Structure 1
Amino acid sequence: MSQATQKQYVREEQKEEQRQLQTVRNRVEKRFTRGEKYLMAMIGIAIVVTAVLMVSNYASMYGLEQEISQLQSEINQQQQYNEGLEHQVSELSDPERILEIAQDNGMELNDDNVTVLDH
């Protein structure tokens, strides 16, 4: 072989090696395929949606706890009011008080007409 042929042969080999290196570089530089990117995007969206749902659930639970607390407070107030009314009923239905009011209004106690009722 002549020197010119050897040089041309060497140049062709170098060009072929450069093409192979460029091909390898292109393959290495492309990190993720389109399907992998789509899958990563879907996973990211799923994580964000899950986080939003969790925060929403915690917010609704907090609101319900506040409502339960308020209702419990109202129940306690109503129970105290009812107890006060029961006490007032027991005071007003005292037989001695009723007899006194009856006598003040001119009524008299007739033992023959008294009937005792058991509860």
Structure 2
Amino acid sequence: MSANHARKWQESYTPPVRKKQVTVRVHRQGWITKGEKLLYSIVAACTILGGIYTVNYASSTDSVNRELQSVESKVKQQKSENNDLTYEVKELSRPERITKIAKENGLKIQDAKVKQAELLDK
């Protein structure tokens, strides 16, 4: 019976079949797709370039404003100097002064009226 039993056992026993182990590749989807990454990169680049342009424009505007202020102050100074010189011209062209200098240099004044050259030109 033991031989019989062993035979039955051998017939009923089938060796375990080695099963192929199947590897399952799980494709993990990213948080952001490639298209979204491209769009975000383009938007970020445009934002950075816009910021650089804005800073550059503000800097050039500031330098132009400083130059304008410098020129305005020079113009103001020149106007002041011109006014001073105009006043000096009026002082030096007084008829009394002219007749006095003429008498000191020995010139004879025929008419008692001394006219200013500016008034005659107009």
Superposition TM-score, scaled by structure 2 size = 0.69
2:87 counterpart of 1:77: no
Question: Could you list the runs of 5+ residues in structure 1 that have no partner in the other structure?
Answer: 1-18
2:47 counterpart of 1:57: no
Letter of the 2:77 partner, please give it.
Q
Secondary structure of 1:60's counterpart equals: helix
Question: Could you list the runs of 5+ residues in structure 2 that have no partner in the other structure?
Answer: 1-23
Aligned-pair identity (%):
28
Q: Which residue of 1 aligns with 2:106?
A: 106
Choose 1 or 2 for highest CA Rg: 2
**1:68-106 per-position Cα deviation (integer Å, ceiling 9, x unaligned):** 111111011101111111011111111111111111111
Secondary structure of 2:73's counterpart equals: helix
Larger RCO (CA under 8 A, 6+ residues apart): 2
Q: Which residue of 1 aligns with 2:3?
A: none
Letter of the 2:100 partner, please give it.
E
Change (3 A) 1:94 1:58: same
Flag the structure with higher helix content: 1
Superposition TM-score, scaled by structure 1 size = 0.70
Secondary structure of 2:107's counterpart equals: coil
- Alignment map for 1:6-21 (pairs within 5 Å): none
Q: How many residues align?
A: 98
Q: Which residue of 1 aligns with 2:31?
A: 31
Letter of the 1:105 partner, please give it.
N
Alignment partners' CA distance in 1, 2:114 and 2:58: 64
Alignment partners' CA distance in 2, 1:61 and 1:115: 56
Alignment partners' CA distance in 2, 1:115 and 1:69: 45
Alignment partners' CA distance in 2, 1:110 and 1:53: 76
Alignment partners' CA distance in 2, 1:54 and 1:107: 73
Alignment partners' CA distance in 2, 1:82 and 1:62: 30
